[in-house]
Chain A
Amino acid sequence: MSEVIVITSGKGGVGKTTSTANIGTALAKLGKTVVVIDSDIGLRNLDVVLGLENRIVFDIVDVTSGNCTAKKALIKDRRLDGLYLLPAAQTKDKEAVSPENMIKLVEDLGDEFDYILIDCPAGIERGFKNAIAAAERAIVVSTPEVSAVRDADRIIGLLEANDIKDIKLVVNMIKMQMVQRGDMLSIDDITDILAIDLIGAVPDDEAVVISTNKGEPVVKDESSLSAKAFINIAKRITGEDIPLLDISVPTNFMDKVLKIFKLSK
């Protein structure tokens, strides 16, 4: 049976879609077969982030309304074996799909895939309920901001209430310079507050913007720090036990002096 993982956050703009695209791509690079599902009906974006926007024929609503089978609607990534996209519909709204539809859709995909990643829309309404309906695991994405962490906490509560027990945290867009200065919540601060296990920490990285511009997930080229972070997340999903990536940045002299004085206060 394929493992179904929902990637969610509550707040928008924290990098759910980017994370889904990169974790999915990284899993495929590890030799797994992966379906990524965009469940953000009306505001689809996973297709552009993956660079597959020109190949869409059918979408998720075509499947749930019976126009075509789930497998027929999948778009195969020609650049990478094992990666498939089920795009969201752009011209419908979220009410076009129900949680029951999602459960059936995942069942129809069968068990020939190792992982099914569901990219959840922002919010806690219908789109969220659809996205989590078929999931057995969840990855909550947050950034080191009060609004994102607060929403993540709410989402974790809702996931637990829906009997999803395996919930892991990704802290995204960390600006290490600011963390080291004491001006941004650290990974430890966030795991302290949310009380769930961390599965990865991704630095704020220009390489993500550049690769997204080109329609290529950043993990395609493994040299950037963010790519390494996403690949580590994928490995941890498969059960590998790898230490957390060191994303700290070298501090200049003044920063070090400041830190010493801050600590003594």
Chain B
Amino acid sequence: MMNIIKKFFSNQPSSKNIAKERLQLVLVHDRSDCSPELINRIKSDIMKILSEYVDINEKEFDIEITRDRQQGSSKSTLVANIPINRLERIR
């Protein structure tokens, strides 16, 4: 009975929602079927090319390859988040 009352007044999300959120997060990483080495090479190449045009924020440069499953087939997507400091490159 005490347990029920405790639960009644608790503001915590149900444990299954915690489970679901944790799973969704961990699967984003699991599903990226790319080696860190390859990611780093892609990252540095993109950085090199983009730097010729704009001034990018190298610290917050983030790229990721994720695999999304859609009933029977899966496709990979490259997601990049590249903050730009200045639009025009200072030379």
Contact = CB atoms under 8 A, between A and B. Distances in A.
Contact of A185 (B20, B69, B70): B20
A182 interface: yes
Interface size bracket, B side: 20 to 34
A183 B16 contact: yes
B11 A265 contact: yes
Nearest to A192: B20
A75 interface: no
Interface in A239-258: 254, 257-258
A189 B11 contact: no
Given A196-B69, A197-B71, A150 B16 contact: no
Contacts of B19: 145-146, 185, 189
Interface string B1-33: 000100110010111110110111011001101
B8 A193 contact: no
B81 interface: no
Interface stretch (A22-30, A53-61, A154-162): A154-162
B7 A149 contact: no
B72 interface: yes
A149 B31 contact: no
A195 interface: yes
A262 interface: yes
A114 interface: no
B35 interface: no
Interface string B65-89: 0010111111000000000000000
Nearest first, the 7 A-B pairs at minimum CB distance are A182-B14, A195-B69, A183-B15, A185-B16, A146-B19, A189-B20, A254-B4
Given A145-B19, A154-B30, A192-B20, 10 more contacts: A146-B26, A149-B23, A153-B31, A182-B17, A183-B16, A185-B19, A186-B16, A193-B20, A195-B69, A262-B14
23 contacts: A145-B19, A146-B26, A149-B23, A153-B31, A157-B33, A160-B73, A167-B72, A183-B15, A185-B19, A186-B16, A189-B16, A193-B27, A194-B69, A195-B71, A196-B69, A196-B71, A196-B72, A197-B71, A254-B4, A258-B4, A258-B7, A261-B8, A262-B14
Interface of B: 4, 7-8, 11, 13-17, 19-20, 22-24, 26-27, 30-31, 33, 67, 69-74
Interface of A: 145-146, 149-150, 153-154, 156-157, 160, 165-167, 179, 181-186, 189, 192-197, 254, 257-258, 261-262, 265
